[in-house]
Amino acid sequence: MTAMLYIHQTHCIQPQQNPLQANIELINEPVDNKLLAFEPSYEQIPPGILRRMSKAIRMGVGAALPLISQPVPVNGIIIGTANAGMDDCVKFLNQIVQYEEGQLTPGSFVQSTGNVIAGQLGLISKNKGYNITHMHLGLAFENALIDAIMQLNTNPSNSYLVGGVDDLSLFNYNIEKLSGDYKEEAISNKDLYNVDSPGCIAGEGAAMFIVNTIKEYAVAKIMAIHTLHSTDVEFVKQQLKIFLQNNVQEGTEIDLFLSGENGDNRTTAYYTACETLLNYNATIVRYKHMIGDYATASAIGLWYACKILQTQQIPAQMIKHNLTKTVHRNILMYNNFEGLQHSFILVSAI
């Protein structure tokens, strides 16, 4: 099997100030079932621009700039986001209603478009290359990854910034809450996987990656990716079986399952079904109790996969199941968004 792409640098902004905290007592707790990002001071963003940015833009640009301010510029910017401009969108909407379609200020409108993060990054980093925004909800980041794979296939000497970003603004919290996506009862991180109720904890974050075709000094490689839409647990399991048959070579095995489990009892069956396809000694690791769940949460998942492969250490509180394995070289990521959008990503050590 040849790698589809190599990941070199990674950066993330997420609800945990120390994302690799091993002690569950020390991780940030949700407030009102929301895990809000721990934001840095964004010193690389000019203050005048920073003030006008919504949180999604700030986190996306803030997580990407440390990676693309390198001496060698990337050849393109590929972003996955479900809600990028939502906050400004509703701000502008409120203006429309409040001023009865009168003379409005266009600032929020311009920042309301979904491509605003990739656009701002192109502008700030003076990058005139490929620039695109994937917005297919729970597969927005996966489609961005597929895009990066295809760009590199076509232009093997290039490198790209690829990332996933979503914020939890009051407005999108309200809308998702009305759709029944979040838990009714207040819950702590420790209990997330033990309660039998619908809904998850709301979260937000941004994760960015520099990817290219160079093996040397890479931190991880993507071996395969597959996405599907289905509400049928058996079909999803069948698809994973085929994915593993096609992509896991004789003599190698999946030694870590990075599960997107989010405490929503409506999706537990999918994760359980996927776990049955693994060897019993595979380690199972979870992360949504630290970052909550949102459409592009799997981008943070990939960040964790890279860290585990790079450091060969797993924060104890993330482990669901571990027998004796101490070395992890092949990670299977499975994510399920709202019981409909599924992704399998195979990430391996170099």
Partner 1 sequence: MNRIFVTGMGVISAIGNSVAENHHALQESICGVRKELDLFPSKYAGVLPFGQVQISTELLQKKFHITEPGVTRTTMLAVHAFNEAITAARLSAVDLHSCDTALVGASTVGGMCLTDELFNDANKKTNGSVYTSSYDCASVCLYLQKRYHMNGIINTINTACSSSANAIMFGAMLLKNGFAKRAIVGGTDSLAKFTINGFNALHILSPDICTPFDEGRKGLNLGEGAAFLILEKEEDINGKNVYAELSGYCNTNDSYHPSSLSEQGDGPFLSMQGALQAANLLPDQIDFINAHGTGTENNDAVESRAMIRLFGKPPAFASTKGNIGHTLGAAGAIEAVYSIFNLMHQEVYPNLHFINPIASIGLSPVKLFKKMNVKHVMSNSFGFGGNCSSLVFSKV
Closest separation in Å from C-beta 169 to partner 1: 9
Piece of the chain touching partner 1 by CB under 8 A; list 91-99, 250-258, 285-293, 308-316: 91-99
Per CB under 8 A, 247 contacts partner 1: no
Of the candidates 59, 118, 244, 290, which one interacts with partner 1 according to CB under 8 A?
A: 118
Closest separation in Å from C-beta 224 to partner 1: 11
Closest separation in Å from C-beta 5 to partner 1: 12
| Residues 6 or more apart in contact with residue 151 via CB below 8 angstroms | 75, 76, 78, 130, 158, 160
Piece of the chain touching partner 1 by CB under 8 A; list 14-22, 38-46, 80-88, 195-203: 80-88
Of the candidates 7, 13, 149, 224, which one interacts with partner 1 according to CB under 8 A?
A: 149
Q: Which is nearer to partner 1, 238 or 268 (CB)?
A: 238
Distances 108 to 122, 173, 206, 236, 270 between C-alpha atoms, Å: 19, 19, 21, 40, 39
Of the candidates 1, 96, 186, 214, which one interacts with partner 1 according to CB under 8 A?
A: 96
Per CB under 8 A, 1 contacts partner 1: no
Per CB under 8 A, 140 contacts partner 1: yes
Closest separation in Å from C-beta 222 to partner 1: 14
Number of amino acids touching partner 1 (CB under 8 A): 67
Piece of the chain touching partner 1 by CB under 8 A; list 37-45, 131-139, 273-281, 319-327: 131-139
CB 227 within 8 A of CB 207: no
Query: HSE-up of 180 (CA within 13 Å, CB side)?
Result: 7
Of the candidates 2, 41, 157, 179, which one interacts with partner 1 according to CB under 8 A?
A: 179
Per-residue interface string for the shown chain with partner 1, residues 191-230, x marking contact by CB under 8 A: ------------------------------------xxxx
CB 24 within 8 A of CB 236: no
Of the candidates 1, 18, 43, 150, which one interacts with partner 1 according to CB under 8 A?
A: 150
Per-residue interface string for the shown chain with partner 1, residues 298-337, x marking contact by CB under 8 A: ----------------------------------------
CB 166 within 8 A of CB 139: no
Closest separation in Å from C-beta 338 to partner 1: 9
Piece of the chain touching partner 1 by CB under 8 A; list 15-23, 28-36, 148-156, 254-262: 148-156
| Residues 6 or more apart in contact with residue 119 via CB below 8 angstroms | 113, 131
Binding residues for partner 1 (CB under 8 A): 77, 82-83, 86, 89-90, 92-97, 100-106, 109-116, 118-120, 122-123, 125-137, 139-140, 143, 146-147, 149-151, 153-154, 171-172, 174-176, 178-179, 227-230, 340
